[in-house]
Amino acid sequence: MKVTYEIDLTLVHDRSIGEIEKISYLVTSKGGGKNAGVDQKLSIAALYIWKELKHYKFNAEGKKLTVREFYTLRAATQREFIHIHRLNYLTYRTLQDVYDWMDDSHLLNFNVKGYWKKIERAYNDYKKKHLVMTDLSTYRLVDEHACLAANEALPLVPHLEVCIRDYLIQHRAEMVSQGQKDDITLLTKVEVGILFCAALRNTRMNFFADIIKNHGVDISSDYTYADITSIGRNFVSMAEQLGVKFTTDKDGDYVLKGISVEKSVRVDSAWNRIVDIVTDDELMDEMVLKAINMNPEAKKDYEATVAKEEEEMMVNAMGDLSSKFKVGKL
């Protein structure tokens, strides 16, 4: 016989995560709300919401968050994660340009091609998973948004290359004396790649570290699909096949052996111009509008579409906590 329970989530959305955990543990250990001395509707609602919440890591501060506050935070994180998407796209496009240069320079061998295939696979898997996890209109919006951001930033890379090249030439003797390959052009291209890979790794890591620090919850499990930091290791392995030597810095990032371009004021300035584009939210809004303007029909309905999608995103993120759900129990 199938018994249907009505789940009223309004009973839990103003309770803390810690309370929900305790109620769920108590109800489970005692074999039901009645035996635990907990109202049946509350116990059912707590067990229902805890099925999802238990997949996140909360510290003592995080457990003080109410259920409503947690889902609001999760929705806000989804909006802010666009910075990581931009950097994912831009990093891949930059590495692709380096690989194309290697091809044009007849530097490719079997092993280099093998590591590049791993980079391609990681990036393509990320895009496929993102498409599966979201609706098509949202995916397209993020995709256009991130592509346009990359298009804005990529023209600044040649100036970054010039600054890196000049610094490498200036320190060529000491670099080579420490065992580095004596090929300024190759090293310049590789340095550009590892700068982006390090930025990708650290930006992602710091993004979630800040959420833990400010809110007490590790929400990174929502975004494992977008973790392409493995491309950094594969890019380094690719360059090693061509004789480039690496070491790691104090943060664990790969750097060229025998040189530290971060000491160059010119390199730092050129890099910051790229960072400014990646993190400029106003510019990103303009880019989305540019994409919309390419399609007159879409432009006409832009404001209504965005308003509707923002509302739907919040409802989905909150789990529609104000409504009631029916579930069946065999």
Q: What is the pTM of this model?
A: 0.82
pLDDT score at 104: 96
Domain ranges of the chain: 3-73+321-329, 82-294
pLDDT score at 212: 96
The whole-angstrom separation of Cα 52 and Cα 56 is 8
Q: What are the per-10-residue average pLDDT scores of the chain (330 residues)? A: 66 90 83 72 86 93 94 87 92 97 96 97 95 84 85 94 96 93 96 95 94 95 94 97 94 92 92 87 62 54 52 50 36
The whole-angstrom separation of Cα 91 and Cα 295 is 28
Residue 207: how many CB atoms within 10 A of its CB?
A: 18
pLDDT score at 34: 66
> Tell me: the pLDDT tens digits for 57-74?
999 999 999 999 999 999
The whole-angstrom separation of Cα 234 and Cα 224 is 18
The whole-angstrom separation of Cα 197 and Cα 231 is 7
Residue 259: closest CA among 182, 156, 159: 182
For helices 40-53 and 67-80, what crossing angle results, to 10°? Answer: 30
